[in-house]
Structure 1
């Protein structure tokens, strides 16, 4: 909450603005985690339960408590936390970890730098992270190097998404649409790498958010209408 209170983007959230007491948020958070794990234990297989627990652990302990204030690499551990629910969604159906499930996880892990670092490059967010002393990539490195990381993330995001469509033997038309989406994302990222602008950075942030949603939807449609 101390970080959120400093940053313009987050200072009006219920916790930093004082609308909610920290003790109330902590109690409700613990309750919801326990409730979620109990429901999982009663209804899901052991592998999925373990993956869900890992998701909580990576997000709360490794990312938030241990790494967020210490290293720019924290976003990748946050990415693992974000990707584990997708893997759990796969294992709850088939009961094992397979290539498709791992590609789901890696897709989100590669996507995270594109999403988070474009957000961090937006001037008011950059200012907020700097004031809060959070070692985000743009703060501890240069804008150019940050954009290279974004470009690398976008490249692997695109490759992994298309490879998953191929692995799932998705409908040919769907594969073409996925290819077009990947090409569009890469064009935006490369343009911004060569000629940076705040407007284009914000556009990439918005497009990246849609890209993940559309990517998973296209994979689903590609398998259903194979």
Structure 2
């Protein structure tokens, strides 16, 4: 599903939208978190190794039952430019479950693809320290056939350290992929923290391992 869209327009729309939501969130005294990370990924395709290196910026926040997050990444894979943009939003009724919507854009070299997904999500606090959540969204153009299932959780160990985990299964056409992320976040101050993750992806026999390390701020 290729569409003639420019990445610059997508970036501008995302930054404008996130900026507006962030300003509104600040007016409502909601917390917004911005994290910038260095990302490296090594992919093994039939014995051929491809290395990717780039930067990733994540913005997340919310107010009331509404929450949002956006991820923008840009880098280079063996001399070929790669760009990704993900925007997600949802509303939890009673902080338990509700509707979800997402927009995804990806470009490698001259090939670009985007899609809009809708579905449901949920969250539950197991304790004051442990939280779990999940989301199931499907492409509006291929509803029920192309979808993304995400499960995540975090556990606060105390002393500013929080462990995080995420599993994501994606069905796109006839291809299935599974990705697992394990990470940790360490608070430097009330407003700043260090963030790190290791990732593993299996997409129809194509393996990819990655590392992310960055710093974030809450305001």
Task: Give yes or no for TM over 0.5.
Answer: no
The structure carrying a bigger helix percent of its residues is 1
The structure carrying a bigger strand percent of its residues is 2
Q: Which has the larger radius of gyration?
A: 1
State the structure with bigger RCO (CA 8 A, min sep 6), 1 or 2.
1
